[in-house]
Structure 1
Amino acid sequence: MRAGHDRNKREFEDYAYVLDFLEYGYPEDTRPLHQKKPITLAFGEKQFVMMELTLKDGKTVELAEKLYIGKGKREKVEFVSKMLKYDNLTPTAKTELLYVIKEAVKFQEERFIEFLNNCGPLTPRMHSLQLLPGIGKTSMWKVIEEREVRKFENFKDFEERVRKNIIDPIAKRIEEEIKQDQKHYLFVKWK
């Protein structure tokens, strides 16, 4: 289940990060060049979904650019064409994915600090924290001890008290959940 999200409340993305820009469409598209449209592959900032975007005529984008895709007036994006799975991404998009996930995590600091302050065990032998890459039993106990003393206020507070970078493990866990079906979902749930 997504940390800090209500299952019954449907949320829509307002922003997405560019993973790849294919000026002449997909390479395997055999239509003549004049019939092809530019395609943008993007990553949603809150729901962590991957999507294909159609840009307005004459607009271009840069890798990792943050685009407004919400319900209001959009500067560059005409519409969201379709949702994508990890396997549909281009090699460039796959390379860019972890970087934009980190940006999304930083933007949603409050959401992830809430998770770190409140997450619990999944089973009698495994804690949610242990699903984060690089967080073993020693680090897990340090996090639990520190949050019992005082809840974490932000990423900087967490890193100073636990002496561990937490943005990278969270981003890597989100990437793992996106890449393949996971037994436990901390942040992403496919519909």
Structure 2
Amino acid sequence: MMMTPERPPRREETAWVLDYLPYGHVSEAMGRYQKRPIVQGVGERDFVLMEMSPKEGAVPEIGVKAILVGKDRPIIDRVNRRIGFEDLSSGAKVELPYALQKIVLDKEGFYLRFFNEAGPLTTRMHALELLPGIGKKLMWAVLNERKKGPFKSFEDLTERVKGIYNPEKLIAKRIEDEIADDRIKYRIFTADPRRR
């Protein structure tokens, strides 16, 4: 279903702004006024972390969605490069979980499919167990409830499966774990950053 172990990241069309650095990276050797502003963001489809240049005079607001392709891009001029989790500013790392939750909630139907369709990974492990806080007991509760009919929303899921609260946070945390660890064994929601 959503397992993406071999798929390289595709070009992102939209990104969520994680941080705006008006004077660029602190670690760069240039003087403060020689640096160019940069924006750090996370792509909405494959969760690619990227460094971008804002349009001249634009001051991107943290936590908003930015269009990356086409002529009508009010905030971002261009994507400079892909970056790793370790390249994010401390502010971007703090903002990342909130941005991921917004993405998951914006596309609730897509992420709800995971609870409705996830299957076993091995004879001893189910894909549902990759979500933080879901062990065997909750996994079986989800599987038994979905036999009665698919979950219609996150609210429906939390009402029918006692012990699961805020499924968007569970998914966002798993996405964050996949972003932070480029050698993670199973990828459910992100593309492999090593395959560029």
Uncovered stretches (5+) of structure 1, i.e. residues with no partner: none
Conserved? CA contact 1:18–1:63, under 8 Å: yes
Conserved? CA contact 1:19–1:42, under 8 Å: yes
Partner residue, 1:82: 81
Partner residue, 1:103: 102
Greater relative contact order (CA < 8 Å, ≥ 6 in sequence): 2
Cα displacement string for residues 81-120 of structure 1 (whole angstroms, at most 9, x for unaligned residues): 1001111111111111111111111112121111111110
Which range moved further: 63-72 or 120-129? 63-72
**Deviation of residue 153 (structure 1)?**
1.3
Which range moved further: 7-16 or 75-84? 7-16
Cα displacement string for residues 114-169 of structure 1 (whole angstroms, at most 9, x for unaligned residues): 11111101111110001100111111011001111001112111111113121111
**Deviation of residue 65 (structure 1)?**
1.6
State the SS of the aligned residue for 1:121.
coil
Matched, 1:170 2:171: yes
* Aligned positions of 1:23-172 closer than 5 A: 23-163=22-162, 164-165=164-165, 166-172=167-173
- Share of identical aligned residues, percent? 37
Conserved? CA contact 1:4–1:115, under 8 Å: no
* Aligned positions of 1:6-25 closer than 5 A: 11-25=10-24
Uncovered stretches (5+) of structure 2, i.e. residues with no partner: none
Cα displacement string for residues 46-88 of structure 1 (whole angstroms, at most 9, x for unaligned residues): 1111000101111001221211112342011100010011111
> Structure 1 residues 8, 176: CA separation in 2 closer, same or farther (over 3 Å shift)?
closer
Deviating above 6 A after TM superposition, structure 1's stretches of 4 or more consecutive aligned residues are 7-10
In structure 2, distance between residues paired with 1:104 and 1:116: 17
In structure 1, distance between residues paired with 2:31 and 2:86: 26
Which range moved further: 102-111 or 29-38? 29-38
In structure 1, distance between residues paired with 2:25 and 2:145: 49
Partner residue, 2:186: 184
CA RMSD of the aligned region, Å? Answer: 1.9
**Deviation of residue 8 (structure 1)?**
7.4
In structure 2, distance between residues paired with 1:113 and 1:28: 41
Count of aligned residue pairs for this structure pair: 189
Partner amino acid, structure 2, of 1:73: D
Cα displacement string for residues 168-189 of structure 1 (whole angstroms, at most 9, x for unaligned residues): 1111111111111211111112
> Structure 1 residues 10, 22: CA separation in 2 closer, same or farther (over 3 Å shift)?
closer
